[in-house]
Amino acid sequence: MGTEGVQDLARIRKTLKELLVKDLSLEDITPEEIKDDEVLFGEGLGLDSLDAVEIVVILQRNFGLDVKDMENRKDIFYSIDSLARYVFESRKDSVSDG
């Protein structure tokens, strides 16, 4: 991945953190406090299944992505980094397909 890809991923991570804090009403944390590799559910950030549904909505609304078969794609929702990579790869695929 080139420098442009790394910068794009960093922008996506930053945007995701801001959206999660705002849209999930995470009042006790700022976007800057969320680590890229922090586990989002359970022991990590403490998100639950309702938050997962909201993350799908965030991905649809802000990135134009439709996560199908969410139950079998739990790997996407592991961390900010895994979400950002999913967004990055999906956008890259849609550009090369179009």
Q: Report angle CA 21, 67, 91 to the nearest 5 degrees.
A: 85
pLDDT tens series, the chain, 98 aa: 678 878 999 999 999 999 999 999 998 999 999 999 999 998 889 999 899 999 999 999 999 998 877 777 888 999 999 999 999 998 877 655 54
Q: Kindly report the CATH class assigned to 3-97.
A: mainly alpha
